[in-house]
């Protein structure tokens, strides 16, 4: 390329450069040394001309278009890139601004412009309205051509068990109604029909719990005010739930839209359902200020504490009186939250029966405060536990292969996942405890049987007093725990009066009582100890054994009594089913892996300690006394003649 004198002068303004990383615009490597860059006239001369035009006052867009038009094909340059080149080569140059004289518009011109804008807006509205009319006409045509009544959403908007639901049963039987989802008979149907505010659907694996959780809120997807939330610990654990919902929801509600980014389902009615995670306790703040009408937790025992469950209850509200407020959960036994879930849902009532919500620490019914303006002292809401087993899911039960896999598990996991046994906990000290074996229905105890009691004393709201009453079957030497008292914030005298009142009402006489030896100590006070105050009321006790190794010995003795005799097929100790606290506590007492004792960090050990005092008191059946009293029971007729 032959350059003129003027072009040579321009090229001199762009000297050679050393190559560092990137080759700047308009430069290329020299033939002699690739690390030395020289200006390329094919690019530099048009660039120089474009910069001159910028300085002269033309727009940045026009200068960029000029540069691209006069450089080889394939060259790229942005407005920002051109401004950066100008700052590099002409840092001090001032750009001339062309002043455009603005002629003000007349009143008529302004009115004309306003009318043009109004016409344009009305055209946009007409186009949008026409599209909506076409869409509605299409949907109306589909509905008119469909001679079968579709109740895919109708059925799910009805509450199971109501008269409204039953009224369309004949249409279902006649085949004139298409059903989108039918729950399995038994526990799954009971879960859908449950009216309680909080329900746990839990138990064995494979019972259809998780599928029921995503199907349960579908009945409300036709309500624009419905906002639901389904939670798992992590997003990875949500994958199966989301995958199942992507098959189920669009088939029931056409047009349902899933947003992967927002983790949210949106329905034509305006209803919304979030499916997301709550991993750490601080994650509850993600939902602060939100309002939900339905909150579901899948695998609730994966949460170590009840904090998330209790906090999310505060997000449960609605201004729509037609929408019920529900919290639902599913779970298998086991996991880090096994203990608190068991206390909240399993222990307070027999399986399947509703009960008033209780405080898991004190066991008391949660109620309105005494100064409430309308509901003082009334219970707040109901809870319910619905047990699930694999046989409740005919799809898996009839196949049999999943049951086979569960049978192959170790005993503890097999009891949890196959039988849905909540009396087995991970790391439990007394894994041999089994409700079916060690819990019996109350029966009349013969007055000749020897009875005694034990007590672990505590006063505060968290440190309860646990009293257990025992008897020994003189024929089998089986130890029977037949009554318990678990109370908070009673002084020694108050507890003694309570114990004596119970024993007096039942006409009982105790052979002896064993009391926690720590309450015999006078702790820096001049008055009597707690034990002395109780004895002063007439409630007699002897101190428990606190010698070295007594804790381990007591634990081992409980193991011995829980063992089933291979000949009699009976355990050495049983509990009446009215002893609910010791029955719920004993299976979840954790073991200390470093020594042969329970984990001393376990806070709810009061019933266990009371049981340990009782079994270590060397209880005897009093067989000699029993035989003597039995032989003294001779027949003595009221009337010597008639023998009546």
pLDDT tens digit sequence for 184-223: 888 888 999 999 999 999 887 877 788 899 999 998 999 9
Pairing of strands 597-598, 591-592: antiparallel
How high is the pLDDT of residue 502? 94
How high is the pLDDT of residue 148? 37
Which two structure tokens, joined as six digits, stand for 213?
A: 């959780």
Check: pTM over 0.75? Answer yes or no: no
pLDDT tens digit sequence for 495-535: 999 999 999 999 999 999 999 988 887 655 567 888 989 99
Asked if 510 and 452 touch (Cβ cutoff 8 Å), the reply is: yes
Above 60 in pLDDT, residue 154? no
Which two structure tokens, joined as six digits, stand for 258?
A: 């899933």
- Quick check: do 187-417 and 435-627 share a fold? no
Above 70 in pLDDT, residue 627? no
Per CATH, the number for 187-417 is 3.40.50.300
The domain locations on the chain are: 5-89, 118-147, 149-178, 187-417, 435-627
CA distance 253 to 271: 11
Q: Report the phi/psi class of residue 334: left, alpha or beta, with left for phi > 0 and alpha for psi in -120 to 50.
A: left
CA distance 56 to 76: 23
Which residues, 6 or more positions from 64, have their beta carbon under 8 angstroms from its beta carbon?
A: 50, 77, 78, 79, 82
Q: Determine which helix (DSSP H) or strand (DSSP E) holds 295, and give its type and residue range.
A: strand 294-298
Which two structure tokens, joined as six digits, stand for 614?
A: 């009782």
How high is the pLDDT of residue 153? 40
CA distance 347 to 328: 18
Asked if 267 and 274 touch (Cβ cutoff 8 Å), the reply is: no
CA-nearest of 439, 472, 466 to 454 is 466
pLDDT tens digit sequence for 324-362: 999 999 998 888 888 889 889 988 888 889 999 998 877
How high is the pLDDT of residue 156? 43
How high is the pLDDT of residue 597? 82
pLDDT tens digit sequence for 7-23: 888 888 888 888 877 88
Q: Residue 37 CA to chain centroid, in angstroms? A: 65
Q: Token match 């006063």: residue?
A: 459
Pairing of strands 177-178, 257-259: unpaired
Q: How many CB atoms lie within 10 A of CB 316?
A: 17
Asked if 416 and 424 touch (Cβ cutoff 8 Å), the reply is: yes
CA-nearest of 310, 348, 353, 349 to 329 is 310
Above 80 in pLDDT, residue 623? no
Please tell me which of 171-175, 526-530, 555-559 the model is most confident about, judged by mean pLDDT: 555-559
How high is the pLDDT of residue 198? 96
Q: What mean pLDDT is predicted for residues 481-503? A: 92
Task: Answer yes or no: CATH 1.10.3720.10 is held by domain 435-627.
Answer: no
How high is the pLDDT of residue 155? 44
């Amino acid at each position: 390329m032959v350059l003129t004198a003027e072009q040579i002068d321009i090229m001199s303004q762009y000297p050679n450069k050393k190559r560092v990383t990137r080759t700047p615009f308009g430069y290329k490597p020299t033939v002699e040394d690739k690390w030395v860059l020289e200006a390329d006239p094919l690019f530099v001369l048009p660039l120089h001309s474009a910069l001159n035009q910028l300085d002269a006052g033309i727009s940045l867009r026009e200068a960029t278009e000029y540069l691209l038009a006069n450089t080889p094909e394939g060259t790229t340059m942005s407005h920002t890139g051109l401004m950066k080149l100008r700052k590099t080569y002409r840092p001090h140059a001032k750009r001339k601004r062309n002043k455009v004289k603005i002629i003000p518009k007349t009143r008529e011109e302004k009115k004309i412009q306003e009318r043009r804008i109004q016409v344009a807006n009305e055209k946009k509205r007409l186009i949008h309205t026409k599209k909506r009319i076409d869409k509605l006409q299409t949907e109306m045509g589909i509905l008119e051509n469909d001679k079968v009544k579709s109740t895919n959403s109708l059925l799910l908007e009805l509450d199971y068990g109501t008269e409204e639901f039953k009224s369309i049963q004949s249409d279902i039987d006649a085949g004139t109604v298409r059903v989108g989802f039918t729950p399995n008979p038994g526990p799954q149907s009971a879960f859908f029909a449950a009216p309680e505010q909080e329900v746990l659907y839990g138990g064995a694996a494979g019972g259809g719990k998780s599928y029921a959780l995503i199907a349960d809120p579908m009945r409300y997807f036709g309500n624009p005010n419905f906002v639901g939330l389904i939670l798992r610990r992590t997003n990875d654990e949500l994958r199966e739930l989301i995958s199942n919902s992507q098959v189920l929801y669009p088939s029931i509600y056409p047009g349902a839209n899933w947003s992967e980014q927002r983790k949210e389902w949106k329905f034509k009615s305006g209803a919304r359902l979030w499916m997301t995670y709550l991993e750490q306790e601080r994650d509850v703040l993600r939902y602060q200020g939100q309002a939900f009408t339905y909150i579901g937790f899948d695998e609730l025992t994966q949460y170590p504490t009840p904090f998330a469950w209790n906090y999310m209850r505060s997000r449960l509200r609605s201004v729509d009186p037609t929408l019920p407020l529900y919290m639902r959960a599913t779970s298998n036994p086991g996991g880090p939250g096994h203990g608190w879930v068991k206390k909240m849902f399993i222990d307070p009532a027999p399986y399947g029966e509703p009960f008033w919500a209780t405080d898991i620490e004190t066991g008391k019914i949660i109620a309105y405060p005494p100064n409430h303006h309308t509901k003082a002292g009334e219970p707040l809401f109901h809870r319910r536990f619905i047990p699930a087993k694999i046989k409740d899911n005919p799809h898996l039960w009839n196949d049999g292969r999943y049951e086979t896999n569960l049978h192959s598990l170790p005993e503890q996991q097999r009891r949890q996942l196959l039988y849905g046994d909540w009396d087995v906990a991970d790391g439990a000290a007394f894994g041999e405890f089994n409700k079916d074996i060690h819990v019996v229905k109350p029966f009349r105890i013969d007055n000749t049987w020897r009875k005694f009691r034990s007590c672990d004393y505590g006063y505060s709201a968290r440190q309860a007093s646990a009293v257990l009453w025992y008897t020994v079957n003189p024929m089998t030497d089986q130890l029977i725990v037949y009554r318990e008292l678990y109370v908070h914030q009673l002084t020694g005298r108050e507890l003694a009066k309570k114990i004596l009142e119970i024993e007096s009402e039942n006409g009982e006489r105790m052979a002896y009582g064993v009391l926690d030896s720590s309450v015999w100590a006078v702790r820096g006070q001049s008055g009597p100890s707690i034990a002395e105050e109780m004895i002063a009321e007439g409630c007699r006790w002897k101190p428990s054994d606190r010698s070295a190794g007594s804790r381990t010995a007591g634990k081992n003795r409980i193991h011995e009594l829980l063992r089933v005799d291979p000949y009699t097929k009976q355990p050495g100790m049983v509990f009446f089913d009215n002893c609910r606290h010791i029955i719920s506590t004993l299976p979840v007492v954790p073991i200390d892996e470093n020594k042969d004792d329970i984990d001393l960090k376990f806070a709810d050990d009061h019933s266990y300690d009371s049981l340990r005092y009782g079994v270590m008191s060397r209880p005897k059946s009093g067989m000699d006394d029993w035989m003597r009293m039995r032989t003294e029971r001779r027949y003595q007729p009221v009337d010597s003649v008639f023998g009546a």
